[in-house]
Amino acid sequence: DGGITQSPKYLFRKEGQNVTLSCEQNLNHDAMYWYRQDPGQGLRLIYYSQIVNDFQKGDIAEGYSVSREKKESFPLTVTSAQKNPTAFYLCASSPRAELWQPQHFGDGTRLSIL
Amino acid sequence: GDSVTQMEGPVTLSEEAFLTINCTYTATGYPSLFWYVQYPGEGLQLLLKATKADDKGSNKGFEATYRKETTSFHLEKGSVQVSDSAVYFCALTLNSGGSNYKLTFGKGTLLTVNP
């Protein structure tokens, strides 16, 4: 079945450590997105990519980095510069014809600080 | 800027009750409107959408009508089930120059349906 796979489901980070969250899709979608979800908040856009080898900052990109070397993969690195990384991270994708209208999201990665 | 305001939850209903979750928006231009649902421990799924005024989106017994005059997109269901328990997000995108632009979400409304 086609879908979006995020891993790991739970992740713990020590102070000063970078961690990378994986997002893989087998839907052949051009566009991919990373969102951060905090309790009682809507989703906020971190980064997005409309095509391979290109990505753009969203509203809260500081302390995060991404790459888009393959169409199916859009990993997110949470760097030590992100001072409040504890959150639920969601990856999504959409075809070019439905840009900004993701039908499905991955099941998320919950990141916590040790 | 563009924004979406949803009724604050949590909303608790008994099975077979009528559901309304209010959503209003502020946007320059002509947005497309969406409702997403997030079941416990999962990501979001697109529930329904409407792309122009007076359009009605519907799916799984849920409905929402795009009301430009009141800038609203309220979600309704005539008879909720326990399996509808989830967080519901209202969202919009703007159409700028023929292209959609960045999805803006409301804060979400938690719905709990009791048997």
3-class DSSP state of A96: helix
DSSP assignment letter at A60: T
Handedness of CA A60, A64, A68, A72 (dihedral sign): negative
B43, A108: Cβ pair inside 8 Å? yes
> Is a pLDDT exceeding 90 seen at residue A103?
no
Distance between A47 CA and the closest CA of chain B, angstroms: 11
Hey, how many other C-beta atoms are within 10 angstroms of the C-beta on B58? 14
Contact of B115 with chain A, judged by CB distance below 8 Å, is answered with: no
Instruction: Supply the pLDDT for residue B46.
Output: 92
DSSP per-residue letters across B38-89: E-TTS-EEEEEEE-STT-EEEETTEEEE-BTTTTB--EEESS--GGG-EEEE
pLDDT band at B29 (very low <50, low <70, confident <90, very high): confident
Enumerate the residues of chain B whose CB falls inside 8 A of the CB of residue A103: 45-46
DSSP assignment letter at A108: -
Closest chain B residue by Cα to residue A56: B102
Q: Record the tokens describing residue A59, joined without a space.
A: 């509203």
pLDDT band at B23 (very low <50, low <70, confident <90, very high): very high
Closest chain A residue by Cα to residue B40: A107
Q: Record the tokens describing residue A73, joined without a space.
A: 């993969």
Contact of B102 with chain A, judged by CB distance below 8 Å, is answered with: yes
Any residues with CB less than 8 A from the CB of A24 and at least 6 apart, and which? Answer: A4, A5, A72, A73
Contact of A31 with chain B, judged by CB distance below 8 Å, is answered with: no
Q: What is the mean pLDDT of residues B92-107?
A: 76
Residue to substitute from A7, A34, A43, A98, interface B, most B β-carbons within 10 A? A43
pLDDT band at B111 (very low <50, low <70, confident <90, very high): very high
* A114 and A12 Cβ atoms separated by less than 8 Å: yes
- For chain A positions 32-51, those within 8 Å of chain B (CB to CB) are 40-45
Contact of A103 with chain B, judged by CB distance below 8 Å, is answered with: yes
HSE-up (13 A, CA, CB side) for residue B29: 17
Instruction: Tell me the sheet residues that pair with A110.
Output: A10, A88
HSE-up (13 A, CA, CB side) for residue A105: 26
Enumerate the residues of chain B whose CB falls inside 8 A of the CB of residue A21: none
pLDDT digits 0-9 by tens, A12-44: 988 889 999 999 999 999 999 999 999 888 899
pLDDT digits 0-9 by tens, B39-80: 988 889 999 999 999 999 999 999 999 999 999 999 999 999
Contact of B25 with chain A, judged by CB distance below 8 Å, is answered with: no
* B64 and B35 Cβ atoms separated by less than 8 Å: yes
